Amino acid sequence: MDTNYQHSDLTQLILKAFYRVYNTLGYGFLEKVYENAMRIELLKLGLDCVTQQPIDVYYEQQKVGVYYADLIVNNCVIIELKAADGIVPEHEAQLTNYLKATDIEVGLLLNFGRQPQQKRRVFANSRKDHY
């Protein structure tokens, strides 16, 4: 399977929810407001959605930290939400690190800034289980 298209139908549904939330709420709210609205929209689409899922980070088999993913959809797409002027490399690095630390290979970075922005990331490595 070409990983660039992995879960593309699901990510299209997520983007539909993102633009619906953006067009309804607009710009200027805190990330938590957008997170709650996204959860409502994703559930309306019949998707499984978990908020603030802990992600353990390991170094040499020892836990060295924990992150919290804003949203995980159908246990196969991580969503990182921002409410910033624009997406910066640090935001993209954060999403990539979430993907590195989990078995999930697809992530979306969604920014509720002055203009809606989205980036899709795929990260596969040999440590991930493939079925």
Q: Is there a domain that residue 1 lies in?
A: no
The answer to the question of residue 128 being in a domain is no
Could you read off the pLDDT of 13-24 as tens digits, one per residue? 999 999 999 999
Give a yes or no: residue 51 inside a domain.
Answer: yes
User: What is the pLDDT confidence band of residue 3, given thresholds at 50, 70 and 90?
Assistant: low
- Tens of pLDDT, residue by residue over 23-68, are 999 999 999 999 999 999 999 999 999 999 999 988 888 999 999 9
Number of other residues whose CB lies within 10 A of the CB of residue 113: 16
Q: How many domains does the chain have?
A: 1
Give me the domain span that covers residue 32.
8-123
Tell me what pLDDT residue 127 has: 56
Contacts for 94 with CB less than 8 Å, ≥ 6 apart:
80
Cα(80)–Cα(67) distance, rounded to whole angstroms?
A: 11
Residue 129: band (very low, low, confident or very high) from pLDDT cuts 50, 70, 90: low
Asked whether residue 53 is domain-assigned, the answer is: yes
CATH number at residue 92: 3.90.320.10
Residue 98 lies in a domain: yes
